[in-house]
Homo-oligomer: A and B are copies of this chain.
Amino acid sequence: MSIRERLSGNEAVATAMKQINPDVVAAFPITPSTEIPQYFSTFVSNGLVDTEFVAVESEHSAMTACIGAEAAGARAMTATSANGLSLMWEMIYIASSLRLPIVMSLVNRAVSGPLNIHNDHSDAMGVRDAGWIMLFSENNQEAYDNMVMAHRIAENKDVLLPLMVCQDGFITSHSIENIELIEDDKVKEFVGQYKPEHYLLNKKEPIAVGPLDLQAYLFEHKFQQAEAMRNAKKVIAEVSADFEKLTGRKYSFFEEYKLDDAETAIVCMNSTAGTAKAVVDELRAKGEKVGLLKIRMFRPFPSEEIAKALSHLKAVAVLDKSDSLNGAGGALFEDVASAMYVSGNNVPMASYVYGIGGRDTKTDDIEGVYNDLAEIAKAGKVENPYRYFGLRG
């Protein structure tokens, strides 16, 4: 029997971490993820977990400590946001290339500057090539569930990659919502014990970690890393299936909301999907055939599957909560457009940048996008594919 609770997104993540009881947590506080290490260090102090909490002196050190811990053979976790992630950037790449299945809670916030503490996805988008598995979460329940699944995915022998679970800063991290928690023992059993194959503290197999890797082999090692990312798809599917058995909650690479018979659809991530679903319901009530594709698994990117799921539509809008500043559409838009191109589709598609720096995303805004899509579908083409919504007039 699951446990009904009312928790904020940060509380949900901290609760998952408590149930997982990792060997090491190393973190440095930064808004809006501060509560996570704060709650967790309280769990440590109160003996609810037997984790080694490393109170590091910067985010660069937080990731470094996680790397050291994982290399040693321990299960390590951290949490951060925005410029915390920026400061650990050097180590983010090292974590993944050393194939260390660290799990991070990234509470998305606008990367400075100028200084802004509110939500957008610029932090996550900045590390989308870093070799981390990235799962996005619409609400506290999904953040919790992704967290519970994280180690099983990351630590799988065919994967061995770090993984971050994203959720929207303040919007879900600080909002209290109903949640169904899994019992402690079931989480423990589901997550299982970490049994690294190679690790520094294994006396029987002395190894070096992170030595010089010049022209002779780095390419092959990066290829293995890319293979691991490809393998992650299968593993994520399997773990999600197991999770469904345990909880009844089904997680795919993405969620298709009334997409089957839709003529137009929005593609988005995290909390915006909740707003969009409300709009879809409303428009459906008016007889409009609109749908939604909410991406959960952003890395690896399920190109083929997404292209297939969108192929029957007459118009698609991809929503990016971050501007790539490249003069050519948001990062998610490019991923989807590229996937569509490779699959030979030619559904008219527009890029929408929105919600930067905590700008509210309202149902009216989303409805406006569906209206745009209706026009695009009618015209059979997109005049100006790179758009914004929510900007002051």
Tell me which residues across on chain B come within 8 A of A308, comparing CB atoms.
none
Query: B303–A116 contact, CB under 8 A?
Result: no
Query: A328–B338 contact, CB under 8 A?
Result: yes
Tell me which residues across on chain B come within 8 A of A358, comparing CB atoms.
214-215, 218
Query: B116–A220 contact, CB under 8 A?
Result: no
Tell me which residues across on chain B come within 8 A of A329, comparing CB atoms.
303, 338, 342
Which residues of chain A from 335 to 366 have any CB-CB distance to chain B below 8 Å in the complex? 335, 337-342, 344, 346, 349, 353, 355-360
Nearest-CB residue, chain B, relative to A47: B50
Which residues of chain A from 200 to 223 have any CB-CB distance to chain B below 8 Å in the complex? 210-215, 217-223
Which residues of chain A from 109 to 153 have any CB-CB distance to chain B below 8 Å in the complex? 110-118, 122, 125-126, 128-131
Query: A360–B112 contact, CB under 8 A?
Result: no
A57-B61, A334-B338, A338-B341 known; A115+B213 contact, CB < 8 A: yes
Offer 27 A-B interface pairs, CB within 8 angstroms, sorted by A: A45-B52, A86-B89, A89-B89, A89-B90, A96-B325, A97-B114, A113-B213, A115-B212, A118-B218, A125-B129, A126-B130, A129-B323, A129-B324, A218-B356, A218-B359, A219-B356, A219-B359, A219-B392, A220-B391, A223-B323, A223-B388, A225-B323, A232-B327, A300-B328, A303-B328, A328-B339, A346-B346
